[in-house]
Chain A
């Protein structure tokens, strides 16, 4: 089991550019969540995808968008990059509950993509 994988590992962009980050969930998982972790801070929730739809969203502007593919992998897109977007972007996968209320399903984290905006 490869666990959660993310690509690329590191990325350097300039202000105004666009970036796409990728995540492959752990085998058997169908739900992907994205988090942003600024230096010295705890991760902050960006959004969550299940069945190819955005199901929950944190307090992030529309410049942050995502997608989930039929194989459950996911992309995070950030447009019009700002210096403040420099952070570690973490992907976490879990097993969904088909929309039914349920106890929490453990999330497994990937190694992250470190984005630097110059």
Chain B
């Protein structure tokens, strides 16, 4: 079983729909990350959170530490939101720059 599980693997929705992507993890973490990867490979960090909820524009990320679960929501989805969304966790280390452990990603396609 992977340490980080995401669902769904693929998601297709109409423009304007409310999107939810889920992430569950099985290890102790210092933080959970949501990242976005467009075709071609570049990865952009969207959120880093260790508790509660964060909002940036139309994106909202929540985390429940007790349940080891996080969700990424997109409100009023738009075709430009089409990308792969990846959940990753960072553990505790003595260095402060802990490696990331990634989920397999959710491929989101928004249809105009």
A-to-B contact residues, CB < 8 Å: 31, 33, 35, 37, 40-45, 48, 50, 55-56, 58, 88, 90, 92, 94-97, 99-112, 114
Interface size bracket, B side: 20 to 34
Within 8 A of A (CB), among B89-105: 90, 93-105
Of the residues B35, B41, B100, contact of A112 by C-beta under 8 Å: B41
Contact, CB under 8 Å: A48 / B41? no
Query: Contact: B99 with A56, CB < 8 Å?
Result: yes
Most buried by B among A31, A33, A41, A42: A42
Q: Judge whether B31 is part of the interface by a CB distance below 8 angstroms.
A: yes
- Dominant secondary structure at the A interface: loop
In angstroms, Cα B98 to Cα A50, docked, is 12
Q: A41-B104, A45-B100, A104-B48 are in contact. Are A111 and B42 (CB under 8 A)?
A: yes
Contacts of A92 in B (CB 8 A): 43, 100
Chain B residues in 8 Å Cβ range of A35? 100, 102
Of A90, A97, A104, A112, the residue contacting B30 (CB under 8 A) is: A104
By the criterion CB–CB under 8 Å, are A50 and B95 in contact?
Answer: yes
Given contacts A97-B95, A101-B96, A104-B97, contact A109 B44 (CB under 8 A): yes
Nearest CB in chain B to that of A30: its residue = B97
- Across the interface, which residues of A come within 8 angstroms of B4, CB to CB? 42
Closest A-B pairs by Cβ, 3 of them: A102-B96, A42-B102, A97-B96
Structural contact, A33 and B99, CB atoms closer than 8 A: yes
Known contacts being A104-B48, A111-B41, A111-B42, is A42 close to B95, with CB within 8 Å? Answer: no
| B90 contact set on A, CB distance < 8 A | 104
B12 at interface (Cβ–Cβ under 8 A)? no
Q: B61 within 8 Å of A by Cβ?
A: no
Within the assembled complex, what's the spacing in Å between the Cα atoms of A33 and B88?
15
Cβ contact within 8 Å between A40 and B40:
no
Q: List 13 A-B contacts (CB under 8 A).
A: A35-B102, A41-B104, A42-B88, A43-B86, A45-B100, A56-B95, A88-B41, A90-B43, A101-B93, A101-B96, A103-B31, A104-B90, A107-B45
